[in-house]
């Protein structure tokens, strides 16, 4: 059977999170970076069950996020997909204007469907939904570190209220008492909601068995809006419908052995990543990116870090000093991020940019964008010098780094922890020898890299230390 399930992820770590979960459920899965423009990439979808398109739409302007998501949907439909997932973070983080609701409604319009189930729950990572409220462990989302997120602060755990504020369709709740009755009760409830007003339906889920129930109860609804946890139920529903083969297990036996210098890039400010950075700094060389220098003097900063990193890894000698990784990080507390923003505002004021901004004459790069650019340039230079194994922490950082490297697609490998698999880069150069036209020189072939794209909130404190042992050797 050909590809059946297409997913559109709003950031890069979320895409690998979902792809890894689909692989665990026995689906042959490939992840592509952005909406593929070249026909050669389509050949990777011929012998897979699912394709995940990684976008960078979580914090993009609403109009751009919708345009990109619709383009991804059209491409997935052209590959033969008939079931679709709009993949969101298990912390449902977004702004008051979107982008979860606007993207979901645009996809519903294009698919001609009146209803979509919405469930970000991921119990394996302690994300559960009860009475429409999102919990992280025993705490409401609004009482966790996500309340201070620098880009998408979540101050309300009521998902019905959060989603309704950014959606034109009604938002309803499918409560746990109904979910607990099983797939038939879920299917009946969804049918009744469709016959009423339709719209978006937040579903409670407090266990993996609830996710299985929701997936089976969705029937043949073309779209779900979900975190990666719902992959458990979607895979079961597709298999029950005869849309998949009977293979089970983790089809990662062809994952390549990748050796070479190792690098951790941490851009997330989440509490989990802060703990991981602190643990790694005790054992391995580390360089902290100064946010003010990233804004004021990025070129000099990039050169300094590259020189330091090449010395620590021994890259100047055409070899490396061993398998021990090094760490480059910008991870900071919410107070430090606010201080950097203040410094940026002072710099802009002194340069007179507030006048231009007031008249819409250009935009100044934000603190976060400046740091992402610096981290991406550092990674790009170190890969050119021989780094082959990388962990990137943070969705926005992962997006910036992967784009800078020119990664086009990923093979999903072994799981490091729930929600974070190792991946290996796939290069389309063989399919597209002249991507810019017949008279252009071929693009340089990207070396095969081992990449772990980690959501900032995932992993225990030793994640950066222990992840390497999960790579084939």
Residues 300-312 pLDDT 10s: 999 999 999 999 9
3-state SS assignment for residue 263: strand
At 372 the pLDDT is 94
At 149 the pLDDT is 84
User: Which tokens is 189 given?
Assistant: 């409830």
In the predicted model, is pLDDT for residue 344 greater than 60?
Answer: no
Those residues with Cβ within 8 angstroms of residue 399's Cβ, 6 or more apart along the chain or in another chain: 11, 12, 54, 56, 372
In the predicted model, is pLDDT for residue 350 greater than 90?
Answer: no
Find the distance separating the first CA and the last CA of the chain, reported in whole Å.
32
At 473 the pLDDT is 80
Cβ atoms of 193 and 199 closer than 8 Å: yes
**Rounded mean pLDDT of 18-41?**
85
In the predicted model, is pLDDT for residue 38 greater than 70?
Answer: no
Distances (CA, A) of 315 to 126, 156, 309, 389, 452: 41, 48, 8, 14, 22
Cβ atoms of 232 and 295 closer than 8 Å: no
d(CA 254, CA 273): 30
Q: H helices within 112-230, ranges in order?
A: 159-164, 176-179, 183-196, 208-217
In the predicted model, is pLDDT for residue 439 greater than 90?
Answer: no
In the predicted model, is pLDDT for residue 433 greater than 60?
Answer: no
pLDDT category at 413 given cuts 50, 70, 90 is very high
**Rounded mean pLDDT of 24-49?**
78
Q: Residue 350, Cβ neighbours under 10 Å: how many?
A: 9
At 471 the pLDDT is 93
> Among 39-48, 216-225, 227-236, whose mean pLDDT is lowest?
39-48
pLDDT category at 160 given cuts 50, 70, 90 is very high
> Among 224-233, 251-260, 437-446, whose mean pLDDT is lowest?
437-446
CATH domain 262-332+366-407+446-470 topology: Molybdenum Cofactor Biosythetic Enzyme; Chain A (3.40.980)
In the predicted model, is pLDDT for residue 254 greater than 90?
Answer: no
3-state SS assignment for residue 386: coil
At 432 the pLDDT is 45
* Arithmetic mean of pLDDT over the chain: 87
Q: Residue 212, Cβ neighbours under 10 Å: how many?
A: 20
> Among 86-95, 177-186, 194-203, 432-441, whose mean pLDDT is lowest?
432-441
d(CA 180, CA 136): 21
**Rounded mean pLDDT of 96-118?**
96
At 431 the pLDDT is 42
CATH number of 5-240: 3.40.50.10840
At 248 the pLDDT is 47
Ranked by mean pLDDT, the top range of 186-200, 332-346, 349-363 is: 186-200
pLDDT category at 1 given cuts 50, 70, 90 is low
pLDDT category at 251 given cuts 50, 70, 90 is low
Domain boundaries, the chain: 5-240, 262-332+366-407+446-470
**Rounded mean pLDDT of 215-235?**
94
At 270 the pLDDT is 87
d(CA 187, CA 46): 32
Share of the chain above pLDDT 90, in %: 70
Phi, then psi, of 68 in degrees rounded to 5: -65, -40
At 324 the pLDDT is 86
Which of 223, 276, 267, 197 shows the shortest CA–CA distance to 117? 223
User: Which tokens is 68 given?
Assistant: 């990109």
In the predicted model, is pLDDT for residue 3 greater than 50?
Answer: yes
pLDDT category at 99 given cuts 50, 70, 90 is very high
User: Which tokens is 426 given?
Assistant: 């796939």
Q: Residue 369, Cβ neighbours under 10 Å: how many?
A: 15
192: left (phi over 0), alpha (psi -120 to 50) or beta: alpha
**Rounded mean pLDDT of 255-273?**
92
At 362 the pLDDT is 40
d(CA 414, CA 406): 23
Share of the chain above pLDDT 70, in %: 83
At 198 the pLDDT is 84
At 337 the pLDDT is 59
pLDDT category at 358 given cuts 50, 70, 90 is very low
In the predicted model, is pLDDT for residue 436 greater than 70?
Answer: no
Burial of 110 (0-12, 13-18, 19+ CB in 10 A): middle
């Amino acid at each position: 059977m050909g590809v059946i399930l297409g997913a559109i992820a709003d950031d890069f770590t979320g895409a690998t999170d979902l792809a890894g979960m689909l692989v665990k459920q026995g689906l042959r899965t490939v992840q592509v970076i952005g909406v593929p423009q070249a026909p050669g990439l389509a050949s990777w979808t011929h012998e897979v069950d699912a394709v995940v398109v990684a976008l960078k739409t979580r914090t993009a302007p609403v109009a751009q996020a919708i345009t990109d998501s619709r383009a991804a949907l059209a491409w997935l439909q052209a590959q033969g997909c008939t079931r679709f997932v709009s993949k969101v973070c298990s912390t449902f983080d977004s702004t008051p204007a979107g982008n979860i609701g606007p993207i979901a409604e645009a996809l519903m319009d294009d698919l001609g469907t009146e209803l979509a189930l919405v469930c970000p729950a991921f119990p394996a990572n302690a994300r559960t939904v009860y009475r429409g409220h999102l919990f992280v462990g025993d705490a409401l989302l609004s009482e966790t570190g996500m309340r201070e997120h620098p880009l998408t602060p979540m101050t309300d755990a009521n998902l019905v209220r959060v989603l309704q504020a950014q959606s034109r369709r009604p938002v309803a709740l499918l409560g746990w008492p109904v979910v607990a009755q099983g797939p038939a009760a879920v299917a009946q409830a969804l049918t009744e909601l469709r016959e009423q007003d339709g719209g978006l339906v937040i579903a409670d889920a407090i266990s993996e068995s609830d996710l299985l129930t929701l997936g089976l109860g969705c029937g043949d609804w073309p779209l779900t809006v979900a975190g990666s946890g719902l992959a458990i139920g979607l895979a079961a529903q597709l298999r029950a419908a005869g849309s998949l083969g009977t293979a089970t297990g983790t089809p990662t036996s062809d994952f390549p052995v990748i050796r070479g210098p190792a690098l951790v890039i941490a851009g997330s400010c989440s509490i989990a990543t802060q703990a991981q950075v602190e643990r790694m700094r005790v054992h391995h060389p580390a360089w902290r990116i100064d946010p003010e220098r990233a804004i004021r003097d990025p070129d000099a900063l990039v050169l300094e870090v590259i020189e330091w990193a090449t010395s620590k890894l021994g890259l100047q000698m055409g070899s490396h000093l061993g398998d021990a990784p090094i760490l480059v990080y910008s991870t900071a507390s919410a107070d430090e991020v606010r201080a950097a923003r203040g410094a940026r505002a002072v710099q802009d004021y002194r340069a007179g940019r507030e006048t231009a901004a007031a008249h819409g004459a250009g935009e100044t790069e934000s603190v976060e964008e400046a740091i992402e650019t610096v981290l991406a340039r550092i990674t790009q230079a170190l890969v050119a010098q021989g780094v082959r194994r990388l962990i990137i922490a943070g969705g926005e950082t992962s997006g910036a780094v992967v784009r800078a490297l020119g990664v086009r697609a990923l093979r999903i490998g072994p799981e490091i922890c729930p929600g974070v698999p190792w991946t290996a880069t796939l290069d389309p150069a063989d399919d597209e020898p002249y991507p810019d036209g017949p008279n252009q020189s071929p693009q340089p072939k990207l070396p095969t890299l081992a990449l772990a794209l980690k959501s900032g909130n995932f992993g225990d404190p030793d994640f950066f230390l222990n992840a390497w042992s999960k790579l084939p050797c």
